[in-house]
Amino acid sequence: MPEEAEDMWHTYNLLQVGDSLRASTIRKVQTESTTGSVGSSRVRTTLTLSVETIDFDSQACKLRVKGTNIEENQYVKMGAYHTIELELNRKFTLAKKCWDSVVLDRIEQACDPVQRADVAAVVMQEGLANVVLVTPAMTLLRAKVELTIPRKRKGSCTQHEKALERFYEAVMQAILRHINFEVVKCILVASPGFVKDQFFAYVFKEAVRQDNKVLLENRPKFMLVHSSSGHKYSLKEILCDPAVTSRLSDTKAAGEVKALEDFYKMLQHEPDRAFYGIAHVEKAADALAIDTLLISDKLFRHQDIQTRSRYVRLVDNVRDNGGNVRMFSSLHVSGEQLTQLSGVAALLRFPIADVSDGEDDSSSAED
């Protein structure tokens, strides 16, 4: 039973075409009375579907699974199509022909109560702010505040200052509405220039004036950091900041960003110890050379069983030979970046040269 947004993401990654999914759902049923009049009613029934398509809405945290009915049911014929909508706190049963190591890891991770959304970030610049929750598996945009701030005029700044105050107030309200201070361990406030400092001063001046105990008690959780802009993509550079990394050292998101940063450094300084693309990485795995494998969870949602098995084999191979495997979420800023490297990369224990002959099949495998 998925209990929170994060669980829905895990469920999405567990579901594959061909699995059978059993859950309660609502079906529209047509009935004909003895007089011949036709009416329709909605009934709740439990169906078992053979999964054909899976859609995930990350904002609403809902999963729509379409497939054909494979068990006798008084309302739905065998083989008839139906869509089940999986929601929070609604039980389901999933059956697979094969439970591979990646899927079992995912279940273990989903059941680990330590892995929760313990970081929030407010990435801002004058007139624009993004309030984001960083969970171990995804970056969720919770609120976007946009306001036009008039420029300072010669001799008069009142318009500018009033607009700024309205903007800060709106961002403060977004924080109070979307951040659960009981769960969140750290709130990063990032901006270019002094916007973050002015905002921080405003928030706590208001908190004292309004006697807002939630904000006052959680003041130590706020951390001010520099970012180049107020856009969501600046989150990656914030998570790379050494001060932030040490503060968030126990969260998975920071670990992934660090692994990706290490990969890029290695690629720059020792390119023979940094590989990407499935064919190259497989060659390194066969040579028992992989120290850390960086792989996107997007690859395990591949429809083709053989392609998926290829990635599972790679993960198992690296683990069996004492390497670390870092699974990146495609809903994370760092995961989006890894996707640009075809979703798979590796840091090697020792250099391996001359794999350029595998270039041709790596490009076809990456598709």
Confidence bin at 367 (pLDDT 50/70/90): very low
pLDDT at position 330 = 85
From the centroid of its chain, how far is CA 210?
A: 35
Question: Whole-angstrom Cα distance, residue 95 to residue 107?
Answer: 13
Q: Which CATH class is domain 253-348?
A: alpha beta
Question: Whole-angstrom Cα distance, residue 268 to residue 309?
Answer: 31
Looking at the DSSP bridge assignments, the partners of residue 57 are 62
CATH of domain 5-30+39-97: 2.30.30.870
By C-alpha distance, which of 84, 188, 90 is closest to 131?
A: 188
Q: Compute how many other C-beta atoms are within 10 angstroms of the C-beta atom of residue 97.
A: 9
Quick one: CA torsion of 151, 153, 157, 158, rounded to 10 degrees?
Answer: -90
Residue 205 vs residues 165, 172, 336: alpha-carbon distances, Å: 12, 12, 38
Question: Whole-angstrom Cα distance, residue 120 to residue 33?
Answer: 57
pLDDT of residue 358 exceeding 50, the answer is no
Question: Whole-angstrom Cα distance, residue 120 to residue 133?
Answer: 4
Confidence bin at 363 (pLDDT 50/70/90): very low
Looking at the DSSP bridge assignments, the partners of residue 275 are 346
| Residue extents of the structural domains in the chain | 5-30+39-97, 120-249, 253-348
Q: What is the pLDDT of residues 222-269, one digit of tens each?
A: 999 999 999 988 998 898 888 887 777 656 667 788 899 999 999 999
pLDDT of residue 70 exceeding 90, the answer is yes
Q: Compute how many other C-beta atoms are within 10 angstroms of the C-beta atom of residue 146.
A: 11
Percent of the chain with pLDDT over 90: 57
Higher pLDDT, 118 or 173: 173
Q: What is the pLDDT of residues 197-227, one digit of tens each?
A: 999 999 999 999 999 999 999 998 999 999 9
Residue 130 vs residues 62, 126, 127, 170, 324: alpha-carbon distances, Å: 22, 12, 11, 11, 33
Higher pLDDT, 324 or 117: 324
Q: Which CATH class is domain 120-249?
A: alpha beta
pLDDT of residue 365 exceeding 50, the answer is no
The backbone region for 118, taken as left when phi is positive above 0, alpha when psi lies in -120 to 50, beta otherwise, is: alpha
Element holding 119 (H helix, E strand) = strand 119-125
Higher pLDDT, 104 or 139: 104
Question: Based on the number of CB atoms within 10 Å of its own CB, is 46 exposed (0-12), middle (13-18) or buried (19 or more)?
Answer: middle
9 close to 110: Cβ distance less than 8 angstroms: no
Question: Whole-angstrom Cα distance, residue 359 to residue 287?
Answer: 17
Give the pTM. 0.64
Token pair, residue 303, equals 């429809």
Q: What is the pLDDT of residues 18-68, one digit of tens each?
A: 999 999 998 888 777 777 778 888 899 999 999 999 999 877 778 999 999
Average pLDDT, the chain: 87
pLDDT at position 117 = 56
